[in-house]
Structure 1
Amino acid sequence: MTSDYRWYWAAGFVLLMTLVYFLQPILSPFLIGMLLAYLGDPLVDRLETHGLSRTLGVVVVFAVASSILVIALIILIPMLGHQIETLRENVPAMIDWFHNRALPWVEAKLGIAVSEFRLDAVREGLKEHLGQTTSVVAAVIAKATKSTMALMTLAANLVMIPVVSFYLLRDWDLIVARCRDMIPRHHEPLVAKLMHDCDEVLGAFIRGQLLVMGCLGVIYWLGLWMVGLELALLIGLLAGLASIVPYLGFFVGIVAALLAAVFQFGDLFHLIAVVAVFSVGQMIEGMVLTPLLVGDRIGLHPVAVIFAILAGGQLFGFVGILLALPLAAVIMVLLRYFYQRYRESAAYGKPLVAADVNDAVESSEVEEK
């Protein structure tokens, strides 16, 4: 590639980032639609191998996915809304318990001065803000209806997501083939290999990790429900979402569940039961879910995942969060490629083999004598 073409590619990349920055308000439904099309493409391909047309395969996948989503929403939203209301009502009491019992115990046992924590002010502030609405759903509706334009934008986005997903999923293979045809012929084999590696990493993470997150959320929810925890669904959902970073969901979930169990029950048995639930969940994740659904191709370090999500959100908001992991996967594959090229280059130097090392040692010994 000549320097002129490199400047073209650099200018195109800068232009793309500029467009992303200025078009953030309208990009979300397109990016979500692209993500859904990417997730659904393997299923449609599999249906095509069984004799269905591409369009019919897309319709089948859409119908099944929409049915599952509607059933899940019908079942989970009322339960989740009830638990959020329970949490909202109990937060001031939790703060009182923490201020009147937990902190004095810590102060007496450890000799740490904790009386400066003004939790009473925090409690009053929470009571003031949480008491402004009587329902979580009502709060969301009230916020959405403050602006007619905001409500229309939300409705348009909700309608556009399935439409964009359908057309992208129907033409996914064609779009990929057209993009591949645009690659310069002398670079096409290398770019195709790198994009294949990116697809393996990204597919393993997004498809596999999303399934792991969902399974862990259900496991934690059912386990905490069997223990009798009132906030089982809320904590299970929180732990499942936090599992996008390995082990983060375990720590977030077990801390939240232990605090809720101490406040609700206050005995050792239920604390041990909570620890058992999360221990079983970790065993199932490590021995079954991750090897089966993700495998060893993910390659994204947990710290890199956290940094990518935070950096994307800081730079481009919600659009940046959607773009963070795909860009992180591409960057990681490119870094691996350039690292391998560096190891094979003259700048790194040819490593000494065992015979060369022995010759060097013998020659130094002869020179010393």
Structure 2
Amino acid sequence: MRNPVRKQVMWWGIAALVLLLTLWLLGQAVLPFIIGAGVAYLLDPVADRLERAGLSRTMSVVLITFIVVLAFVAIVLLVVPILFRQASALIEIAPQMLDQARVFIDARFPGVIPHAGGLQQTLTDLQATIGEQAGRVASTVLGSVRGAIGTLALLVIVPVVAFYLLLDWDNMVASIDRHLPREHASVIRHLAAEIDDALAGFVRGQAVVILILGTWYALALMFVGLPFGFFIGIMAAVLSFIPYVGVLIGGATAIGVALFSFWGDPLWIGAVVVIFAIGQVVEGNYLQPKIVGGHVGLHPVWLLLALSVFGALFGFVGLVMAVPMAAALGVLARFLLARYRESALYTGQPEPPEPAQPILVEMVPAGTVADRLRAARLASDRARSRQHIDIMREDLNRRERD
């Protein structure tokens, strides 16, 4: 007998509520496991390809783990210190850049910034605030990141969790599939495939795009001698997962620094503009179509909303879970919308009733039912007789022992 729709909605709602409460109450505790599961999910196709190439699953996972850990250590030792150092220096020099921009605007366009109004005072206060709070903001951000991720989680828990999950990933997927409710198994598999396509296409594709853009921006800006070019290039590439945000913020920052550093030398200012123009053209015409391809994408507004909501509700854990949750909710929303368009609420036509269960009639020769009843009675009588004989034997044995 099928479960009523209301009961099914209740049980699925309870499951979703339990998941959200778990993330809210145990967010920091389960964060290393969530990151480890994400790493295993992203690396599973690589392990499958190595298996098809002839390696065993264990050797594939060991090789992948060694390469990933080596790359992570190299990034932490070589790249992260440069990023932190240039970010801190850029924050410290920002007040001077704002002051120079204000002086330039006052000299070239005297009436743009009204000195008697509040805008002039606002810019002055902003300049002073940035100068006073630069060190504090940097230390707070770094402290929050350390507290959220944890050195132990990065160095020990995440690699271990990712290793074991990647080793048993195919078995876990098969086990989950066996425990799906049979009535909805096909629908759940279809939705899971769409979520995987959206999430894998976005995350893996965007990771490759960010890697290529980060390499281009960082090296090109360093080549032209732009101060803080490495940090600005990496920042612009990382923010490029939201269309146009990376190039706008990174380009504006780079051009502002170029105007401050290369004033009077328009050739190098133009070189910075050309670098970001080339990056944007290559990203829009080659990287996004060829790498991300035709996967079900995540709308930038939807992605920003997910980052804001999940970040506000669950903190750093919510930011980590925002992209997969946005992909899942987007697929579920499209599925529910398709069901709504098929329902009577949208079409205005009553749904046809489900066909009644057919009545099965078995044709047998005359007297078959009576013979079966007679045989059943005889079998029942024999069973009772054997049971009575067994009871009498037990009584006789008990008396002999007594």
Give how far 1:189 is off.
Answer: 1.1
> Quick check: 1:225–1:232 contact (8 Å CA) kept in 2?
yes
| 1:106–1:112 contact (8 Å) kept in structure 2 | no
Q: Does 1:128 align with 2:132?
A: yes
Alignment of 1:149-160 (within 5 A): 154-158=150-154, 159-160=156-157
Preserved CA contact (<8 Å) 2:88 2:134: no
1:196 corresponds to 2:193? yes
2:87 is aligned with what amino acid? I
- Which residue matches 1:313? 311
The one-character-per-residue Cα deviations of 1:180-234 (angstroms, maximum 9, x if unpaired) are 1111112111110111011000000111112112211211112222222011111
- How far apart are 1:103 and its partner, in Å? 4.3
1:168 aligned partner: 165
CA distance in 2, matches of 1:284, 1:132: 38
Where does residue 241 of structure 1 map in the other structure? 238
Q: Partner of 2:336 in structure 1?
A: 338
Percent identical pairs in the alignment equals: 35
Secondary structure at 1:9 match in 2: helix
- SS of match in other structure, 1:300: coil
Q: Distance in 2 between matches of 1:111 and 1:6?
A: 58
Whole-angstrom CA distance in 2 between matches of 1:286 and 1:152: 34
Deviation, 1:89, is 4.1
Q: CA deviation at 1:271?
A: 2.7
Out of 304, 312, 328, the position equivalent to 2:326 is 328
Report what 1:48 is aligned to: 51
Compute the displacement of 1:118 (Å). Answer: 4.1
Q: How many residues align?
A: 341
- What one-letter code is carried by the residue in structure 1 that aligns with 2:259? V
User: Residues 190 and 125 (structure 1 numbering): CA distance in 2 closer, same or farther, change over 3 Å?
Assistant: closer
CA gap 1:85/1:316 in 2 versus in 1, 3 angstroms: closer
* 1-structure distance, mates of 2:290, 2:32: 31
CA distance in 2, matches of 1:152, 1:285: 32
1:183 to 175, 180, 183: 180
Q: What's the offset of the Cα at 1:290?
A: 1.0
Shift of 1:32: 0.8
- Distance across 1 between alignment mates of 2:16 and 2:147: 34
- Per-residue deviation, residues 52-102 of structure 1 (Å, max 9, x unmatched): 221211111111112222223333234324423432442332233123333
Partner of 2:360: none
- Seen in structure 2, the aligned counterparts of structure 1 residues 248 and 342 have a Cα distance that, compared at 3 Å, is same
Q: How does 1:1-369 map to 2 (within 5 A)?
A: 1-2=3-4, 3-108=6-111, 110=112, 116-130=120-134, 139=139, 154-158=150-154, 159-267=156-264, 268-349=266-347
> Do 2:28 and 2:148's aligned partners in 1 also have CA atoms closer than 8 Å?
no
- Which one-letter code corresponds to 1:102 in the other structure? I
Q: What are the Cα deviations for residues 150-203 of structure 1, in whole angstroms up to 9, with x where unaligned?
A: 889823322211111111111111111111111111211111011101100000
Task: Normalising by structure 2, report the TM-score.
Answer: 0.77
* Larger CA deviation: 39-48 vs 157-166: 157-166
Q: Tell me the amino acid that sits aligned with residue 269 of structure 1.
A: L
Which protein is bigger by CA-based radius of gyration?
Answer: 2
SS in 2 for 1:164: helix
Partners of 1:217 and 1:240 within 8 A in 2: yes
Unpaired runs of 5+ residues, structure 2, are: 349-402
**Deviation (angstroms), 1:283:** 1.3
Distance 1:6 1:131 in 2: 51
Show CA shifts across 1:281-329 (max 9, x none). 0111122211222112132111101111111101111111111111111
Residues 148 and 316, structure 2, Cα contact 8 Å, conserved in 1: no
SS at match of 1:243: helix
Aligned AA (2:301): V
> Do the aligned partners of residues 260 and 200 (structure 1) sit closer, same or farther apart at CA in structure 2, a change above 3 Å counting?
same
- Structure 2: how far apart are the matches of 1:89 and 1:227? 22
Give 5+ residue unaligned stretches, structure 1. Answer: 145-149, 351-369
Task: Name the counterpart of 2:351.
Answer: none
Whole-Å separation in 2 of the counterparts to 1:347 and 1:256 = 51
